[in-house]
Amino acid sequence: DVQLTQSPSSLSASVGDRVTITCRASQSVTTYLNWYQQKPGKAPKLLIYAASRLQSGVPSRFSGSGSGTDFTLTISPLQPEDFATYYCQQSYSTLYSFGQGTKLEIK
Amino acid sequence: QVQLQESGPGLVRPSQTLSLTCTVTGGSVSRGPFYWSWIRQHPGKGLEWIGYISDTGSIYYNPSLRSRMTISLDTSKNQFSLKLSSVTAADTAVYYCARVDVLSGYYYVDYWGPGTLVTVSS
């Protein structure tokens, strides 16, 4: 099974900041890595697929990079509506898996 | 616009079978390529992939749940379903149905249902 480890588990930031969330895979997933945003009481929403491709309708302040085992999600500049929990997810192996999540809070 | 909606009991007794249905509108479950999926989230926790069924009927189950699970497709009703037997309190979670895009070759969830909380309790 592919394990995904996100860091940090939580972070505080201010509107206008640049933030980076990291996702590390236990083995190479090439670029089969996706990022989602989840707000309380809501289903997750796709932001980035294939490591770096922006989903249609998602603001360009979201960007993704990486390949193999190390990936990043960057948000810049932070907007008030971006405070949420973010998950990475791999679809390289048939047992799809998610990272444990990163909670982004207002400083 | 594709929409998914979960339905089923919100309370299940321990040792009984959890049964959920996902109704799809704005698209056909028999027209692919898509994987029709179930994902759950324990209260205050992260996301766990339960399993999925393709438009052609191929099925994949999470090995940790395989012995208790059944996922099926009903093309006549444009629905897919989840049955999880012998439930315990550890199965209490929000259950999401979702569609995985396969056409792009990158396998990501592009549509989610709103989720339904299932509580296992006597």
- Per the prediction, chain A carries an average pLDDT of 97
| pLDDT given for residue A48 in this prediction | 98
Mutate to test the interface with A, among B62, B99, B106, B110 (most CBs of A within 10 A): B106
| pLDDT given for residue B103 in this prediction | 85
Measure CB to CB from residue B47 to each of A49, A95, A98 and give the nearest one. A98
Interchain CB distance below 8 Å, B60 and A55: no
pLDDT band, very low/low/confident/very high, at A71 (cuts 50, 70, 90)? very high
Res B86 pLDDT > 90: yes
pLDDT band, very low/low/confident/very high, at A61 (cuts 50, 70, 90)? very high
Q: What is the mean pLDDT of residues A49-65?
A: 97
Cβ neighbours of A91 in B, within 8 Å:
100, 106-108
Interchain CB distance below 8 Å, A96 and B107: yes
Min distance B21 CA to chain A CA atoms (Å):
17
* CB-side neighbour CA atoms (13 Å) of B1: 3
Query: Measured at the alpha carbon of residue B48, what is the angle toward residues B45 and B52, in degrees to the nearest 5?
Result: 155
Alpha carbon B31 to its chain centroid, in Å, reads 18
In 3D, which of A38, A35, A49 has the Cα closest to residue A82? Answer: A38
Q: What is the pLDDT of residues B20-30, one digit of tens each?
A: 999 999 999 99
| pLDDT given for residue A79 in this prediction | 96
Residues B66 and B75: beta-carbon distance below 8 Å:
no
Cβ neighbours of B49 in A, within 8 Å:
95-98
- Mapping DSSP onto H, E and C, the string for A43-104 reads CCEEEEECCCEECCCCCCCEEEEEECCEEEEEECCCCHHHCCEEEEEECCCCCCEECCCEEE
A50 close to B (CB below 8 A): yes
Count of other CB atoms within 10 angstroms of residue A58: 16
- Chain B residue nearest residue A35, CA to CA: B108
| pLDDT given for residue B54 in this prediction | 93
Res A92 pLDDT > 90: yes
Q: How many residues does chain A have?
A: 107
Structure tokens at B5: 């909606």
Measure CB to CB from residue B108 to each of A42, A46, A99 and give the nearest one. A46
Cβ neighbours of B60 in A, within 8 Å:
94-95
Q: What is the pLDDT of residues B31-85, one digit of tens each?
A: 889 999 999 999 999 999 999 999 888 999 999 999 999 999 999 999 999 999 9
Alpha carbon B84 to its chain centroid, in Å, reads 10
Reduced to 3 states (helix: H, G, I; strand: E, B; else coil), residue B68 is helix
Dihedral of the CA atoms A36, A40, A41, A42 (nearest 10)?
A: -30
A31, amino acid identity: T
Q: What is the pLDDT of residues B102-113, one digit of tens each?
A: 988 889 999 999
* CB-side neighbour CA atoms (13 Å) of B81: 16
Dihedral of the CA atoms A77, A82, A86, A88 (nearest 10)?
A: -50
| pLDDT given for residue B118 in this prediction | 98
Count of other CB atoms within 10 angstroms of residue A24: 16
| pLDDT given for residue B104 in this prediction | 86
